[in-house]
Amino acid sequence: MGVKVRIPTPLQRLTEGKEEVEASPGTIIELIGDLEKRFPGIGERISESGKIRRFVNIYLNEQDIRFLNNEETLVKDGDEVSIIPAIAGGDNRNV
């Protein structure tokens, strides 16, 4: 069954435009390692030295992993992981 991973808009160019990919169960940091193998470059956009970057949030189902077990949070078959980075938007740079 695997784990469903939701890829955010800014990272979809690394996943050939795919919005959802499958990954193997394990800890969050193992899951990111798994994604990095298949989609090189994605790992460093999400994490740095084994830690999730501070402008990226990861949700297991609808829970923020910072309030579960962080990078060590266990993800099981059938779970859904969402990667949600901060976005700013717009193009009027002078507000």
Partner 1 sequence: MDDFTEEQIERYSRHIILAEVGGKGQKKIRDASVFIVGAGGLGCPAGYYLTAAGVGRIGIADVDTIEISNLQRQIAHSTKKIGMLKADSAKSTFEELNPDVKVITYKERLSSKNIMDIIKDYQIVIDGSDNFPTRYLVNDACVMTKKPFVSGSILRFEGQVTTIIPNDGPCYRCLYESPPPRGLVPSCAEAGVLGVLPGVIGAIQATEVLKLILGKGDILKGELLIYNALKMSFKKMKIPKNPNCPVCSEKPTINELIDYEAFCEVRPY
Which residues here bind partner 1, judged by CB under 8 A? 8-10, 19, 45, 53-57, 59, 62-64, 66-67, 82, 84-95
- Residue nearer to partner 1 on the CB measure, 36 or 59: 59
- Residue nearer to partner 1 on the CB measure, 28 or 45: 45
- Residue nearer to partner 1 on the CB measure, 13 or 76: 13
* Two tokens, residue 62: 């609808």
d(CA 52, CA 28): 9
Are 59 and 84 spatial neighbours (Cβ–Cβ below 8 Å)?
A: yes
Shortest separation between residue 41's beta carbon and partner 1, angstroms: 12
d(CA 16, CA 10): 12
CA atoms within 13 A on the CB side of 55: 6
Shortest separation between residue 10's beta carbon and partner 1, angstroms: 6
Segments in 1-95 forming alpha helices (H)? 28-38, 42-46
Shortest separation between residue 85's beta carbon and partner 1, angstroms: 6
- Residue nearer to partner 1 on the CB measure, 7 or 35: 7
